[in-house]
Every structure is written in structure tokens, then in C-alpha cells.
Amino acid sequence: MIPPSDMPQLLSYEDRWQPGIAAVIKAVYDEYRLTWDPDDYHRDLYTVQETYIDTGGFFSVLVLADHVIGTVCALDRGAEAEIERLYLHRDHRGRGYGRLMTEHFLNWARVTGHPKAIAWSDKRFNDAHEMYKKMGFTVVGDRVLDDPDNSPEWGFELDLSKGTP
């Protein structure tokens, strides 16, 4: 049996987590050789309270041994809840933590009355796409993101009005 101290905890955003948030997301960007842009595209990671929480969304961190290993947040888009910044450090993948964070998002979306959940995901993140599909999301489109790399993304959607998939 794994001692509880060896299990990550999903915690609500606090200012003390901000450096870890940026670090884990930057690590994923480095892994995929993507451009880090703290002054523009990643500015939201330095204004979490204003960008996510004060606008009706949330931001949570997955913490292990006082280190951020994952992130998940959401934006309230009216009838749609959009999952944002779902990232997990490569050393902790394959253990169900991405699904845990996505379920956290879906619970928030249901509790706040959103009939639809949406996700946009870089086309390089194949494991995330498979997870979304296993959770009942369907691919609804694609786009090119206005980021420094002009990243191609898949769009996913889940109808929450039908209950839990």
C-alpha cells in the first residue's frame, strides 16, 4: 500500500504555487520543443487569480511532496465550460493523474450548471486525446492557435446534459 504522503493532492490555487505552475508547464513546453512566451501567450500563468478565478473559473494544482506536478483550470464560457492548462510533468504520466484532473474539471462543470464541456489540445499530445475519447469526448474540429508556434489543435466536446458517461 502506498503511504498517503506518496500520493499527490489536487489543491486549489494559492499564490505560493505560481512558480511551480509555470515550471511544470514550461517543462512540458521544453519537452515538445515549443516556445515559452511569459510576456504574452503564457501571461495568464502569472495572473491566475484575475484570469481564471475572478472570472468564474477555477485553477487547481496537483501537488506531490510540496511540488507542483500538474495543472488544470477552467474558464466559464456561458453554456460551455472550457478546460484549460491541463498539463502533467512527464515523470508522473501513465498513472491516471490526467484523468483525475479532467474529472475534477468535469465535476466543476456539472456543479456550475454547464451543459457542455470543451477542450482544445495540441495535436502533438496524443495521450491526452486518447484520454478525452475514453472519457466520452468527441472530436468536433481543429484550428491553428495564435501562439508563437502556430500550434495545430484538435477540438473536443462532451455533452454534460446526458449525465455521467
Task: Give pLDDT tens digits for 10-59.
Answer: 999 999 999 999 999 999 999 999 999 999 999 999 999 999 999 999 99
The CATH homologous superfamily to which domain 4-162 belongs is Gcn5-related N-acetyltransferase (GNAT) (3.40.630.30)
Q: Are 25 and 43 in contact (CB under 8 A)?
A: no
Q: Which helix (H) or strand (E) holds 155?
A: strand 152-159
Listing DSSP states for 49-100 in one string gives IIIIITTT-EEEEEEETTEEEEEEEEEEETTEEEEEEEEE-GGGTTSSHHHH
Q: Are 144 and 152 in contact (CB under 8 A)?
A: yes
Q: Confidence class of residue 6 from pLDDT cuts 50, 70 and 90?
A: confident
Q: Is 164's pLDDT higher than 70?
A: no
Residue type, 141: G
pTM of the model: 0.93
pLDDT digits 0-9 by tens, 52-108: 999 999 999 999 999 999 999 999 999 999 999 999 999 999 999 999 999 999 999
